[in-house]
Amino acid sequence: MSPHDVVLIPGDGIGPEVTDAGLRVLEAAGAPLRFQVHHAGVTAIEQGLDVLPDSTVEAIKHCGVGLKGPCTTPVGEGFTSVNVQLRQKLNLFAAVRPVRNLEGITTRFDDVNLVIIRENTEGLYSGVENQVTPDVVMSMKVATQTACDRISRFGFRFATLRQRNKITVFHKANIMKLTDGLFLRCAQQVHQSEYPNIAYEEMIIDAGCMKIVQDPSQFDVLLLENLYGDVVSDLCAGLVGGLGVVPGANIGEDLAVFEAVHGSAPDIAGQGVANPLALIMSSVMMLNHLADTRNDPACRAAGDRIKTSYNRALADGCHTRDLGGDLDTSGFVAALLERLD
């Protein structure tokens, strides 16, 4: 089988550092991939391009798969988030974020094994904001039956395929009766009519967050609208060692873009100390996606090799600074390469 073409977006801040680390590991593991580099974010602007160039979007449509570093979004002003735009333009409606303890990383809990399924295209991230008067502004939360049905079906199908037993929806339908109410009704309907064998529960999000930090082992698959999924992803990352160890995938009907949950980390950018593991784990998710959708066992084999190497490195105490260790980005990559079969 010929190599799979993948769009690589290095991104901003620590993005180029972690994607470069990821490429080194993928290459050493013999992953059958051929990368095309395209830009987005501040990096694209600096090169005289649009913040999200059409060529980047078209390249992902053509290749079907992308691996992306984080992109910076200005706070309180400036351009619309590239990450939100990309998910909307490519209809990458489901974010999948597995959160698990890793051997060698000691945290408050040792039994975290949950997956966040986040609706990626609407809610408060629809970008509908208005200045009503000079001192009154508003943001619209948008929920459509199409998107709520689609993410519910995705979540239950995912749980079934991965032999997971329970879906929990976090919501605030006591306050946002229409939007979160629709989300709940769609999840209930999909559960009752199509997946009655998967356990299903609902929690008001504030109480749900308290339960996560008290005992995360009670959660299996969390099904969340856009904003809740964003916030709860970082909260859950904190349970297993932080943003350096949580990967992610943005999945659509035919397209998929893989990226870590973390952002561009401007506080450590350019220092060569970022933890590349979340991006490397996202690459493994990408290889498994290619193995499944293109029936290529070489992708799964390369992904398994990478997974074994990072599990060995972590168990041997090879940790970057965010995990309390003293390795820099390239030191951690070297530790992985030494342990690659």
Smallest separation (angstroms) from ligand NAI to the CB of 64 = 20
Task: Confirm or reject binding of residue 43 to ligand NAI (CB under 6 A).
Answer: no
Count Cβ atoms within 10 A of the Cβ of residue 62 and give its class: 0-12 exposed, 13-18 middle, 19 or more buried: exposed
Nearer of residues 139 and 217 to ligand NAI, judged by Cβ:
139
Contact positions with ligand NAI (CB under 6 A) in 83-102: 83
Is the Cβ–Cβ distance between 121 and 93 less than 8 Å?
A: yes
Contact positions with ligand NAI (CB under 6 A) in 67-86: 70-73, 83
Is the Cβ–Cβ distance between 93 and 229 less than 8 Å?
A: no
Total residues interacting with ligand NAI, rule: CB under 6 A:
21
Count Cβ atoms within 10 A of the Cβ of residue 324 and give its class: 0-12 exposed, 13-18 middle, 19 or more buried: exposed
Nearer of residues 70 and 104 to ligand NAI, judged by Cβ:
70
Count Cβ atoms within 10 A of the Cβ of residue 106 and give its class: 0-12 exposed, 13-18 middle, 19 or more buried: exposed
Task: Confirm or reject binding of residue 283 to ligand NAI (CB under 6 A).
Answer: no
The β-bridge relationship of strands 199-204 and 256-258 is unpaired
Nearer of residues 190 and 260 to ligand NAI, judged by Cβ:
260
Task: Give the contacts of 124 (CB within 8 A, at least 6 positions apart).
Answer: 139, 140, 141, 226, 227
Task: Confirm or reject binding of residue 274 to ligand NAI (CB under 6 A).
Answer: yes
Task: Confirm or reject binding of residue 278 to ligand NAI (CB under 6 A).
Answer: yes
Q: Which of 93, 322, 325, 332 binds ligand NAI (CB under 6 A)?
A: 322
Task: Confirm or reject binding of residue 241 to ligand NAI (CB under 6 A).
Answer: no
Smallest separation (angstroms) from ligand NAI to the CB of 72 = 4
Task: Confirm or reject binding of residue 267 to ligand NAI (CB under 6 A).
Answer: yes
Task: Confirm or reject binding of residue 243 to ligand NAI (CB under 6 A).
Answer: yes
Nearer of residues 17 and 296 to ligand NAI, judged by Cβ:
17
- Separation in Å, CA 293 to CA 40, 253, 288, 290, 296: 26, 11, 9, 5, 8
**What is the per-residue binding string for ligand NAI in 189-228, x denoting contact by CB under 6 A?**
----------------------------------------
Task: Confirm or reject binding of residue 245 to ligand NAI (CB under 6 A).
Answer: no
Q: Which residue is nearest to ligand NAI (CB)?
A: 263
Nearer of residues 249 and 299 to ligand NAI, judged by Cβ:
249
Closest CA to 201 of 229, 222, 172: 222
Partners of residue 115 on adjacent β-strands = 98, 221
Give the type of residue at 40: A
Task: Confirm or reject binding of residue 66 to ligand NAI (CB under 6 A).
Answer: no
Is the Cβ–Cβ distance between 141 and 119 less than 8 Å?
A: no
Phi, psi (deg, nearest 5) at residue 99: -125, 110
- List residues near ligand NAI by CB under 6 A: 14, 18, 70-73, 83, 243-244, 259, 262-268, 274-275, 278, 322
